[in-house]
Amino acid sequence: MKTRSIHPSTAFTGLFALILLCSLVISPPRVVLGQEWQQASAPRSWSFPRDHGSHEEYRTEWWYFTGNLKDDRGKRYGYQLTFFRYGLTPRAKDPSNPWSVRDIYLAHFAITDVPGKSFHWRDRASRKGPGLAAAGKDAMDVHVLDWSARMKDDRIILTAAHDGIEIDLELVPAKPPTLHGRLGLSRKGPLPGQASYYYSFTDLTTRGTLRTPGMKDPVAVEGTSWFDQEFGSNQLSQEQAGWDWFALHLSDGRDLMVYYLRKKDGTLERESSGTLVERDGTSRHIALGDIETDVLSYWKSARTAGRYPAAWRIRVPAAAIDVTIRPLLADQELVTTVSTGITYWEGTVDGKGTSRGEKITAEGYVELTGYAGTLGGKF
């Protein structure tokens, strides 16, 4: 079972966002109204907690949370909460006026209820403005209406609730931020500026409550979350069909991120790659040629006819990793007509295999885009 809803106050904004993004996102112009967006073109100097905040000089940015949770009886759940900022123009017409629109904000929220065999998602969009949506510049403080992610000292507080689903979670980093690519410069293609700045908290100790439709009261849960933040101005090209993203926690304390950028001709961009994070927080870049992935089965959506990979064997011989993963629920597909206008699969997975010759289990999240039509409004 899958459910969704349209927030009444965001329906018009969502339609506007969809039209705008479909017309601009695949090859966004570098110059807008005589002004330029900055490009992700070279390694940058990072400064935290400042870089958890907004980077408005870049056109696109997102704060992306996923997590694998259990209640006190061992029942399993997954969640996703994502905030997107999309710049309409590099400079507001009247910066002194808080209602002068420069950015729009979009958000996706989903819960996978494994024991209930159900997946629930909501999405929304809003213009920037007092009480509507915003992102702080000096620290993580982003919200779209009453959904929010805020960092206080060393804790991240997530809150979201709408139409029967809700989370109230506290996340504490167990490892320092991990920079992907070359010092955080993550290439997405061969063209100038076709990249993003990308870092993660790959291991966040998580506690709090969640609720899904049918639950009388929220249930206490705990587990592990993953956080990604990316920002850039010109990431995708018209030749790219979509991507497969894996964020895995191995039971020996290692974390593995892999992303494949798929081209429309069926090949992979050479910039596809991964990152391995060790138990102590140290990390290393993994090139495409060092990752071997076999798709073991597929799942077809009755709603959209999208045909998605549904089980994988991933091997990283240089790191002695060999793991097979499968979704905990087949149907974890989102159709985000209110916000980004993209249909994609994002879901909780688990599996088992070996790491450094020892048997391990794995859990995490997988994102699959471009399998149900085109990327549409994805930016």
- Structural domains in the chain plus CATH codes: 2-39+50-369 (2.40.370.10)
- CA distance to 5, 122, 265, 308, per residue, from 10 (Å): 11, 12, 37, 30
- Amino acid identity of residue 208, one-letter, is G
DSSP letter for each residue of 290-353: G-EEEEEEEEE-TTT--EEEEEEEEEEGGGTEEEEEEESSS--EEE-TTTT--EEEEEEEEEEE
**What is the distance between the alpha carbons of residues 30 and 60, in angstroms, rounded to a whole number?**
12
The model's pTM is 0.89
DSSP for residue 91: S
**What is the distance between the alpha carbons of residues 36 and 91, in angstroms, rounded to a whole number?**
10
DSSP letter for each residue of 167-228: EEEEEEESS--EE-TBTTEEE-SSSTT-EEEEEEEEEEEEEEEEE-TT-SS-EEEEEEEEEE
Residue 331 dihedral angles phi and psi, to the nearest 5°: -95, 95
Closest by alpha carbon to 52, among 146, 159, 171? 171
In this predicted structure, what is the pLDDT of residue 90? 85
**What is the distance between the alpha carbons of residues 102 and 132, in angstroms, rounded to a whole number?**
13
pLDDT 10s digit of each residue in the chain, 379 long?
Answer: 444 433 333 333 333 444 344 333 433 444 443 358 999 999 999 999 999 999 999 999 999 999 999 999 999 999 999 999 999 988 877 777 777 788 999 999 999 999 999 999 999 999 988 889 999 999 999 999 999 999 999 999 999 999 999 999 999 999 999 999 999 999 988 888 889 999 999 999 999 999 999 899 999 999 999 999 999 997 677 788 899 999 999 999 999 999 999 999 999 999 999 999 999 999 999 999 999 999 999 999 999 999 999 999 999 999 999 999 999 999 999 988 766 678 999 999 999 999 999 999 999 999 999 999 755 433 3
Sign of CA dihedral 17, 20, 21, 22: positive
**Under 8 Å between Cβ of 235 and 86:** no
In this predicted structure, what is the pLDDT of residue 35? 54
Lookup result for tokens 């969502």: 14
DSSP for residue 28: -
Looking only at the bridges linking them, the beta strands covering 76-87 and 219-232 are: unpaired
Closest by alpha carbon to 98, among 134, 52, 147? 134
- Amino acid identity of residue 62, one-letter, is W
Residue 228 dihedral angles phi and psi, to the nearest 5°: -115, 140
Name the 3-class secondary structure at 104. Answer: strand
